[in-house]
Structure 1
Amino acid sequence: MPGVADVTPAATWEALSQDPAAALIDVRTDAEWSFVGIPDLAEVGKQVVLIPWQVYPSMQVNGAFAEHLRKAGLHPESKLYFICRSGVRSLAAGQAAQAAGFPLAYNVAGGFEGPVDAEGHRGQVAGWKAEGLPWLQR
């Protein structure tokens, strides 16, 4: 297995724009989707797939994660881009996807919000928001 490669948010956007079978899977929690926002893929005619890697509030790993990928209609031939807050959970989710038979798994580097800046705020240094890609509040 080649491992899960990091891909920039801009390169992810480009892949989602060009490849009809490519999908973005947001593996954050329900609370993060509701209070922080989600990537908006309407411009490329898609919707982000929401499957938590860890279940809030216990933060236990979602034991049905691979099953949820399949139920979402994702296929082993599809390029799957995993995103979380900063890129750690999405890397683990990508590794689990590869182990479950989805070899084309990628990690969105910097995640949705990226690391904290000098003032302790996210969304400014790196990640989906910092790169100015579309997002919305739910």
Structure 2
Amino acid sequence: MPEDYKGDVSPGECWSALAEKPDALLVDVRSTAEWTYVGLPMLNALGKVPLLVEWQSFPSMAVDPAFAEKLADQVVKAGGSRASPIFFLCRSGVRSIAGAVALTAHGFENCFNVLGGFEGPPDAEGHRGRKAGWKAEGLPWAQN
């Protein structure tokens, strides 16, 4: 496991932890455009909602220098703590690693990356959401 965050988990493992641990949280670090047009993970069956904090903002895709501070505030407001399991999700599992590293550096102990992200890598036809990730595993999601 990497030393700069706790480790990687599958979407199914993330879902199980969210269901079993009351203080476990899911953080979606994608952009507002992605949340709006691609969809969001739905956690209402677990009595939870994902925390939405952009790692990078569209269209510039500049990294938000205040990301960790913004997220730390949301974690506390959602009933979490520095010891809570926090799972990071992006499109394919790359920005989420950066988010997990940033929050770990900010003093949070249990930050995990969700492998495959929300949509996973593109398939042979160039479509995402079929090979790996939250959608491919059949976990709840909705599109506006």
Counterpart Cα distance in 1 of 2:116 and 2:46: 21
Q: Which runs of 5+ in 2 are unaligned?
A: none
Equivalent residue runs for 1:112-123 within 5 Å: 112-123=118-129
1:129 alignment partner AA: K
Are residue 66 (structure 1) and residue 68 (structure 2) matched?
yes
Counterpart Cα distance in 1 of 2:53 and 2:117: 15
1:56 alignment partner AA: F
Q: Which residue of 22, 32, 35 maps to 1:33? A: 35
Counterpart Cα distance in 1 of 2:98 and 2:3: 14
Q: Which residue of 47, 68, 76 maps to 2:82? A: 76
TM-score, with structure 2 as normaliser: 0.92
Q: Name the SS of the counterpart of 2:87 in structure 1.
A: strand
Counterpart Cα distance in 1 of 2:127 and 2:62: 26
Counterpart Cα distance in 2 of 1:84 and 1:129: 12
Q: Name the SS of the counterpart of 2:26 in structure 1.
A: strand
Shift of 1:70: 2.0
Equivalent residue runs for 1:1-138 within 5 Å: 2-4=3-5, 5-72=7-74, 73=76, 74-138=80-144
Shift of 1:2: 2.7
Counterpart Cα distance in 1 of 2:66 and 2:142: 27
Tell me if structure 1 keeps the 8 A contact 2:72–2:103: no
- State percent identity of aligned pairs: 53
Shift of 1:3: 3.3
Runs of 4+ in 1 over 3 A off after TM superposition: none
How many residue pairs get aligned? The number is: 138
Q: Which runs of 5+ in 1 are unaligned?
A: none
Deviations 1:17-46 (A, max 9, x none): 000000000000000000000000000100
Q: What's the Cα RMSD here?
A: 1.1
TM-score, with structure 1 as normaliser: 0.96
